[in-house]
Amino acid sequence: MTPSFWAVVETESQREPLVRLLLMRTNRETYCPRIKTKTRITPLFPRYLFVRVVDGHWWDIRWTPHVLRVLTFGQFPQVDEKLERAIVVLRQQEDRDHLVKLPKLEELRRGQPVHIRSGQFAGHLALHDSMTSHDRQRVLLRLLGQVVTVELPAKDCVVVA
């Protein structure tokens, strides 16, 4: 007997609730972690949800309306301990409304020194200027004796303690 495990299902855009409902009607356990943004509640992983596979019966999930594919490792979905642990951690971070509470990102102040850890400016020190979007920031970098404004992915910049 094959143990049960979680599989990742890719859905059509904005069809996660419908696919989840259709899979739940076939007595399958599903999980679609959600977060609250400033204006609405959205899936944490847009277009993806998790489905519990029991006894290796996963192929019929693929033929559920609005499902694009079941993510596999090779030809078949398999038991993945990291995925199992990730779902446990996500569920532990849910509040009473079943919304995942993500840790707050460190707020950067203008003029705060940052270390650039990757990309073409890796190893340089810069000063934080502003955020340009949710995942990019503008920094002031001294190059060839001049201060230059550069936009970088936020993940490439680490605050200097």
Give the pLDDT of residue 160: 84
Question: 63 or 103: which carries more pLDDT confidence?
Answer: 63
Give the pLDDT of residue 156: 85
- 78, 83, 88, 94 alpha-carbon torsion, rounded to 10°: -130
Least confident residue range of 8-22, 25-39, 87-101, 103-117: 103-117
| CB-facing half-sphere around the CA of 151: CA atoms within 13 A | 6
Predicted TM-score (pTM) of this structure: 0.68
Give the pLDDT of residue 105: 62
Q: What is the Cα–Cα distance from 46 to 29, expressed in whole angstroms?
A: 19
Q: What is the Cα–Cα distance from 84 to 30, expressed in whole angstroms?
A: 13
| Percent over 70 (pLDDT), the chain | 96
Please determine, for residue 1, whether its predicted confidence score (pLDDT) is greater than 60: no
Q: What is the Cα–Cα distance from 67 to 24, expressed in whole angstroms?
A: 14
Please determine, for residue 12, whether its predicted confidence score (pLDDT) is greater than 90: yes
Give the pLDDT of residue 106: 64
Where do the domains of the chain lie, and which CATH numbers do they carry? 5-92 (3.30.70.940), 113-159 (2.30.30.30)
Please determine, for residue 65, whether its predicted confidence score (pLDDT) is greater than 80: yes
pLDDT in tens, 98-118: 999 987 766 778 888 999 988
Please determine, for residue 58, whether its predicted confidence score (pLDDT) is greater than 70: yes
Q: Name the strand (E) or helix (H) holding 48.
A: strand 48-53
Number of Cβ within a 10 Å radius of residue 79: 14
